[in-house]
Chains A and B, each alone.
Chain A
């Protein structure tokens, strides 16, 4: 009788132990790591919607793990958590790739805008060199002053690019380009008024 009771206890213990599932720690860690990498790639900025959803999936995964851990060992099932972590990992990798690409595109657009702005400022500078000092010395000096200002503003575009604030860099470059063109138009109007001739001497 004692033997039978002991046997039943052993079988019960074994079955309980065998029935206890372990959380998919490694998969969870991989999913968390992938999320961090996605975040570091700029996903919160460049894939904001998908990144927010990814965070939601991770939160659901953590909740699922926590719910299962709260259950009696025999009834724990981490299948859903595994599924969520696998899906989060795959999604993180996809978002990371997409974000890197979008960031590169934003950078390329900012660099392109910067180049266009620099060329516009250079062209304006060349035009200033040809500008007649003429009767409107004050106007020409004012134009030169503005061109110097525009040259200085180009540094702000570079600073925004260095900070990886590409939207700011792009809007700054566009503004500089527009302002350079306005200054060029002003010089051309001045040139049209006084005609061509040798550049003025500096005292």
Chain B
């Protein structure tokens, strides 16, 4: 009896100690920690922004969860090692590392993108101001608004913390801005071309020399400076600021292009009160022979559509009292200035219109600034 009792007690103690010693295969706090990692990844928008990393984590997590739910994994003896627990700890460490990397990556992306989009916004504002100053907005056509759209889109994606798309759009905006600068250079590059400026200077000088030689009146208009200068006997007597056609900086090619012609012209008619809708007007002999030759050549080479006409009725005129309806390439002065000019200019006065008279003209300066900006993008 005594021996049996001792055996029973020993057996009971052994069983109890075994039962008490049994531990869960997966510590609940470890599961909770991995759950927390999952939540951190979701908070970092990993499913959308780092789908591959998140997929890898979730795949492992699902496999381990499935294993944890299997009955034979639920408990183990204290001295047994648990593969499942080790795997979960590994996943926790890996997940923690992914969270840290993603967080760092996002902070870095945000900083980079914030700087990039801000720079693009500044760039587009600067370009707009320069383009406005040289009447180049029309020249840009849709390119202007296209670049604006892309910069705004990049800002929207940045605000939504979608850095990948913000970057993609910002790259497109970069290209669009560079394309703008290239287009302006292509169309207006002659204002920065030394040989062309020398040619324009020669034209102007010849006109001034003629004025001196013939003791007569002559006019020189510089488009880049938007300035009309009146010469008498080779001496500049007065300068007026002028407005040009809506596409005035371009060289006139055909009717309706809004460009102001360049070349040597003469006043062919003086139109006073009642003879013009623009207060006073001095009609010019555009198109001259050179204009016609250039126009025909451009048509033949296909640069100008066959349906286009060369245009005409280019004048130096004042402003309509009510509103000015047709400045499609003319040179316009304020009415008091026009009145003064009108009084001093007879029919036959030579009028030389050039792009620019100095290498440091306004258009060349704007193009140089755009070029500098292009390098900064």
Given A48-B51, A49-B42, A153-B145, CB of A171 within 8 Å of CB of B59:
no
How many angstroms from the CA of A51 to the CA of B332 in the assembled complex? 67
How many angstroms from the CA of A74 to the CA of B171 in the assembled complex? 62
**B61 proximity list for chain A (CB < 8 A):** 56
B145 & A150 in contact (Cβ 8 Å cutoff): yes
**A175 proximity list for chain B (CB < 8 A):** 148-149, 152-153, 156
The stretch of B107-115, B133-141, B183-191 in contact with A is B133-141
**A142 proximity list for chain B (CB < 8 A):** 132, 135, 137-138, 246
Q: How far is the CB of B146 from chain A (nearest CB, A)?
A: 7
1/0 per position for A66-90, CB-CB distance to B under 8 A? 0000000000000010001000000
A60 & B145 in contact (Cβ 8 Å cutoff): no
Q: How far is the CB of A172 from chain B (nearest CB, A)?
A: 6
Chain A's interface size range is 35 or more
How many angstroms from the CA of A176 to the CA of B322 in the assembled complex? 34
CB of A94 closer than 8 Å to a CB of B: no
Give the contacting residue for A60; candidates B42, B62, B153, B247; CB below 8 A: B62
CB of A40 closer than 8 Å to a CB of B: no
**A145 proximity list for chain B (CB < 8 A):** 137-138, 140-141, 144
Given A48-B47, A56-B58, CB of A149 within 8 Å of CB of B138:
no
Q: How far is the CB of B167 from chain A (nearest CB, A)?
A: 14
A200 & B325 in contact (Cβ 8 Å cutoff): yes
- Count residues of chain B with CB under 8 A from any CB of chain A: 53
B323 & A134 in contact (Cβ 8 Å cutoff): yes
Q: How far is the CB of B222 from chain A (nearest CB, A)?
A: 17
How many angstroms from the CA of A48 to the CA of B256 in the assembled complex? 55
CB of B119 closer than 8 Å to a CB of A: no
- Which residues of A139-192 are within 8 A (CB) of B? 140-142, 145-146, 148-150, 152-153, 156, 167-168, 171-172, 174-176, 178-179
How many angstroms from the CA of A66 to the CA of B233 in the assembled complex? 104
A134 & B324 in contact (Cβ 8 Å cutoff): yes
A133 & B323 in contact (Cβ 8 Å cutoff): yes
B66 & A141 in contact (Cβ 8 Å cutoff): no
How many angstroms from the CA of A156 to the CA of B65 in the assembled complex? 46
Closest B residue to A57 by beta carbon equals B62
B149 & A152 in contact (Cβ 8 Å cutoff): no
CB of A55 closer than 8 Å to a CB of B: yes
How many angstroms from the CA of A56 to the CA of B60 in the assembled complex? 7
Closest A residue to B154 by beta carbon equals A171
Q: Report the 10 A-B pairs with minimum CB-CB distance, sorted nearest first.
A: A56-B62, A149-B145, A48-B47, A175-B152, A142-B137, A141-B246, A171-B156, A60-B66, A149-B142, A49-B47
Residues of B participating in the A interface, judged by any CB pair closer than 8 Å: 42, 47-48, 51, 54-55, 58-63, 65-66, 69-70, 132, 135, 137-138, 140-142, 144-146, 148-149, 152-153, 156-157, 160, 162, 165, 243-248, 255-256, 258, 319, 322-328, 332
Residues of A participating in the B interface, judged by any CB pair closer than 8 Å: 44, 48-49, 51-53, 55-57, 59-61, 63-64, 80, 84, 132-135, 137-138, 140-142, 145-146, 148-150, 152-153, 156, 167-168, 171-172, 174-176, 178-179, 194, 197-198, 200-201, 203
